[in-house]
Amino acid sequence: MIYDLFVIGGGPAGYVSAIRASQLGMRVAIAEEKFWGGTCTNVGCIPTKAWLASSELFDNVKRAKKFGISLENASIDMKRVKARTKRVILRNRKGIEFLLKKNDIDFFDSHATIKDTHKVKIGDKEMEFRNLLLSQGSHPIKFPPFDVEGILTSDEIFSIDEIPQRLLIVGGGVIGLEMATFFSAFDCKVTIVEIMDHVLPNMDSDVAETLTDTLKKRGVDIHVKTKTISVDKKVDEYKVVFEGEERFEKKFNKILLSVGRKPNVFDDVKDLGIDLDKKGNVLTDEYMRTNIENVYAAGDVNGKYMLAHVASKEGIVAAMNMIGKEEKIDYTAVPSVVFTTPEIATTGKIEDELKLKNIDYIKGIFPMSALGRARTLEVSDGFAKILTDKNGRILGLTVVGPMATEVLMEGVIAVQNGFDIEKLLKHIHPHPTISEIVMQCAEDASGMPIDK
């Protein structure tokens, strides 16, 4: 048998592409050597959000008196948190296996080695294919001085059995800040060090400032423009030396290294002659093609956006092009979401980027504290802002506050389709909701705000 498509990697790019290819009439096989669902399902999006659901509920218990409810002696049981998280993960894995079977896809719980541009090998069996999709995912970056026994990455953090007294998080990106949100809910003294000017360096400085202020209220110690000089383990404790504006040292029970991920590009991919960029990512064009005609790549392995939802879309685009549809990937309105408290969501252009490029823009902004729904939730931290060009065309939306990750999709549609402010304001927004904040920003950008 010759497969129309062979997929290596069962994460969001791989299994989604396999299903779409099968729906398009292709004979498909997929191999996954670890767990179905990849990083997202097993050590990323899903377990992180399961943990954060627990910490959010705990935070609400602590705030209960504001709502006229008395609750005492709440505590965390990490064994139960982990058990629930495991159940959630297993349901996702089983769901993927069910979908593969439903779509008549041959799937292998094995490592697949590429032999040439039309053959892979699983165990001692060779299989032929017409098209190949590389979707092997990524792994956490680790480097000195963090090559010390016991230091955790985002892949290992879910193995801990109890809340540490003092936790160091190296890296102020999405993963690090989400973990800081979780641990700080349970009387863990969290320290974050970030080498850049502010946390969330890929987002606007005002977004980072709002989150920084909120985390500090939770007792999190944040150091930016700070580098880790040395890590010395003493029995069950780490002594760490830092250098920022001045040199200082602190002691921790646990360390989480969260400074990004690298693509899983193994020797068989290199031997195939696939072009890589300077960072080791597989180079792809807007059709998800590599330099080899019948080989495509999607997801973390190409390093464009290490986001599960982008990986899935890339996998679909790759499948479409295998049958000659000539479909391009469009990154114009990629949504980026952070499940901290407050939540953060953004799409399209960000303000700092426009300033850096000296691009003229109009900004509409509205504080979360002035929103009726936020007041009913006893929430004041956060804001939203909408950016347009001089003609009113929407360039970007950022929301910081409760349910921001759910509200963002209106902005994705607006940016993707080139909506202007006038078109957005023609729609009636429900009241009282968090989504009203998008309308409030749009009114502000139009120069005719009602509630500001």
The beta strands (E) that lie in 78-176 are given as 106-108, 113-116, 119-122, 125-134, 138-140, 152-153, 166-170
Between strands 261-263 and 138-140, the pairing is: antiparallel
Pair 265, 271: CB distance under 8 Å: no
DSSP string, 318-376: HHHHHTT--PPP--TT--EEE-SSS-EEEEE--HHHHHHTT---EEEEEEGGG-HHHHH
- Given the residues 139, 309, 429, 431, the one annotated as active site: 431
The beta strands (E) that lie in 37-165 are given as 106-108, 113-116, 119-122, 125-134, 138-140, 152-153
CA-CA distance, 154 to 339, in Å (whole number)?
15
Between strands 166-170 and 189-194, the pairing is: parallel
Pair 64, 70: CB distance under 8 Å: yes
Tell me the three state secondary structure of residue 312: helix
CA-CA distance, 199 to 308, in Å (whole number)?
22
Between strands 28-31 and 2-8, the pairing is: parallel
Q: Which residue type occupies 305?
A: Y
CA-to-CA separations, 237 to 148, 194, 250, 424, in angstroms, rounded: 12, 21, 10, 55
With b meaning 16 or more CB within 10 Å and e meaning fewer, what string describes 45-79?
A: bbbbebbbbbbbebbbbeeeeeeeeeeeeeeeeee
Active site residue 223: no
Q: Which residues are catalytic?
A: 431
